[in-house]
Chain A
Amino acid sequence: METYHNPQLDALGDATRRGILARLIDGPRPVGELARDFPVSRPAISQHLRVLKDAGLVVDRPDGARRVYALNPDAFESLREYFDQFWNQALAAFKRRVEQPPSPPSKGRR
């Protein structure tokens, strides 16, 4: 049903890619700078960035001759979506409760 999550999981199954994401939390970085930060070749970094980009976790833009990578703000969407639906559920439960007189604790479990 939900296939769009899988590329993200695959993308996160690699220590270098997780490291790149952790580095990008602090802000956008040009690819050359990322390549210096990790003990892998520059082509390898570019390959990792491509996987992250394809998974929707990072975005890139040109900056002169360089490419600058940043976390994709949309990557927070699954977290937002979770809380959005969670609060719908919780506030609906609150509304039901606050609009009803107190009732004795329910017996047993459903």
Chain B
Amino acid sequence: METTQVTAPAVRKSITVNADQQRAFEVFTTEFDSWWPRSHHIGKSPMTKAVIEGRAGGRLYSAQEDGTDCQWGTMLVWEPPSRFVWAWQIDGQWQFEPDLARSSEVEVRFTPEPGGRTRVDLEHRYLERHGLDADAIKNAIDSPEGWGLLLELYRAAAEQ
């Protein structure tokens, strides 16, 4: 089998929530700050607010305690209340990645279900665009600021 590029399988998640489509979309986006994990930002100081700008070309960013804004994503597709796609612009050094060709994508779809419920399908794709450079792997594994720590936090939470 001849392949010219290495691709990583997408991460896919589906959940059904007890809220209608409009409400589910709004909580995910407008009320993003109310549920987004507080540990998950790339600022140098603690995060005070997590924000999704609801328009194509809008930013995903965190406001930091030191007064700075840290962008970590760009809205690529904005179709309320059914779907949006954003570029996940965090590189292996836990820094903003301005190059969309080196960013992965997250698509979230909201589908009405009977009984006023909504199915939420999330796909995080093109992970290979983050590259397999040494620093990315090293940070993923052992940086206290990096993915490794988040994984540990998740494990701790999951095992409670």
Contact = CB atoms under 8 A, between A and B. Distances in A.
Instruction: Name A's interface SS.
Output: helix
Interface string A75-100: 11011111111111111111111110
Interface in B34-87: 34-37, 40
A51 to B, nearest CB: 13
A22 interface: yes
B24 to A, nearest CB: 6
Nearest to B8: A76
A27 B137 contact: no
B113 interface: no
A52 B76 CA distance: 37
B141 A5 contact: yes
A45 to B, nearest CB: 17
Interface string B3-24: 1111111010101011100011
Interface residues of A, number: 41
The range of chain B's interface size is 35 or more
B19 A79 contact: no
B3 A70 contact: yes
Contact of B137 (A12, A25, A89): A12
Nearest to A88: B13
Contacts of B133: 18, 21-22, 25
B19 A99 contact: yes
A36 B136 CA distance: 26
A73 B157 contact: no
12 contacts: A21-B133, A25-B132, A27-B4, A73-B6, A79-B8, A79-B130, A79-B147, A80-B9, A86-B40, A86-B151, A93-B36, A98-B27
